Amino acid sequence: MRYFIETLIYLFLDISGINTLFRYLNRNKIIILCYHGICDDDFDLLKGYDDRHIPKSLFRKQLSYLKGKKYSFTTLSEAMDMLNHRKKIRNIVVLSFDDGFRNVVENAYPIMQKYHAKGCFYLIGDLIGTSKPVWTDYVETLVRNAENVTFGFSYRGENCSYNLTTKASYEKAMKDIKARLRLLSDKEKNEVLRQFQNDKTDSVPKEFRMSDWAQIQGLDKDILEVGSHTSTHPDCIRLSSDEEFDYELKYSKAKIERMVGYRTDHFNYPAGAFDERVIRQVEAAGYKTAVSLIPGFNDSKTDPFCLKRIYVNENFLFFKASVSGSYFFMKKVLRKFLKPSHYQAIFKHADSPYV
């Protein structure tokens, strides 16, 4: 029912001409699209669970749509130069990819070349060139590979147990475990994860595999430049010491710059988590920008350490509504008329995979 109502709203915005109106109203702002991976079309492991890996046929369709609507693509460095020097902005789009997945290089990059698209590829420094998945993908793989119907672990002195009998129960367990671990400091989270070091993770899907440095070095920085997504993908708000910040921010920056041979000025907050303290640390580490998961558009008034992005999922009607800006206006209107529970039910997963 939620999906049906959501689809009707997006369809109305599209056929009524409202999307066209808002594309015109927002023509002088910069769009930064938020992707994770671009998967093969037959990859359906995450179907109905989350949309962080977009099929490459849909990615191609999205870029074709943007080109057809006269959008131009720039790297983030080029977009920031426009903002900083108050150059003319007209229908500018920057693609951004979180984590460093191999399928971005293998699937997204060739499509970007075809459509003259540009963007920024945010790398988790310690994972590039390794067989280690992002910790969130690691948790999901552990749960999926659980041979017993019960999956359990120790968490802050209590035993957490999940009965895995249906697809829904597996998905609920994965979401709950990730939510619990995000509440911990990076040190505490790693201690919990060490409980599973002997568990089976030999079947990590290839879509979760990271790029290697040779692939990264083969990217044209004028098409897909790189930025830092920290060294290990912690929740930056939960970092407590200067040493932790130095490792996640300064070391990742230095390592990436050493491997690609050029300066990287762009940072990406893992899971969109940041506060004023984190912003100060990011700026002190030498970055010039940082992208968030706050939805919206960017102009000369936008804080460069709080750049807004539009999260991309598999709903093409949502894509058209969000890049036009009609989606954000419609949300504000409906918030005034719908009960909070109904509002949340409709828009719970639209803006970000972490909401």
Residue 160 lies in a domain: yes
Angle value at C-alpha 250, between 34 and 290, nearest 5 degrees: 30
The pLDDT of residue 340 is: 73
Number of domains in the chain: 2
Q: Does residue 284 share a domain with residue 169?
A: no
Residue 19 lies in a domain: yes
Q: Does residue 103 share a domain with residue 38?
A: yes
Angle value at C-alpha 292, between 115 and 175, nearest 5 degrees: 100
Q: How many Å apart are CA 174 and CA 139, to the nearest integer?
A: 7
Lookup: tokens for 259: 């491997």
Q: Does residue 150 share a domain with residue 122?
A: no
Range of the domain at 155: 135-196
Q: Does residue 326 share a domain with residue 216?
A: yes
Residue 204 lies in a domain: no
The pLDDT of residue 2 is: 64
Q: How many Å apart are CA 168 and CA 170, to the nearest integer?
A: 5
Residue 319 lies in a domain: yes
The pLDDT of residue 187 is: 86
**CATH number of the domain to which 21 belongs:** 3.20.20.370
Q: Does residue 58 share a domain with residue 162?
A: no
Q: Does residue 341 share a domain with residue 221?
A: yes
Residue 178 lies in a domain: yes
Residue 352 lies in a domain: no
Q: Does residue 226 share a domain with residue 140?
A: no
Q: Does residue 229 share a domain with residue 154?
A: no
Question: Considering 163, 196, 229, which residue would you say is the last residue of a domain?
Answer: 196
| Sign of the torsion angle spanned by Cα atoms 85, 94, 311, 133 | negative
Lookup: tokens for 141: 């793989």
Question: Considering 165, 196, 227, which residue would you say is the last residue of a domain?
Answer: 196
Q: Does residue 218 share a domain with residue 73?
A: yes
CB atoms within 10 A of CB 89: 18
Residue 353 lies in a domain: no
The pLDDT of residue 355 is: 38
CB atoms within 10 A of CB 282: 24
- Give the β-pairing of 150-155 and 158-163: antiparallel
Q: Does residue 162 share a domain with residue 64?
A: no
Q: Which residues of the chain have pLDDT under 50?
A: 354-355
Q: Does residue 243 share a domain with residue 98?
A: yes
Residue 355 lies in a domain: no
Contact between 61 and 316 under an 8 Å Cβ cutoff? The reply is yes
- Cβ contacts of 159-165, under 8 Å, gap ≥ 24: none
Angle between helices 56-68 and 316-324 (to 10 degrees): 40
Question: Considering 196, 223, 244, which residue would you say is the last residue of a domain?
Answer: 196
Q: Does residue 38 share a domain with residue 139?
A: no
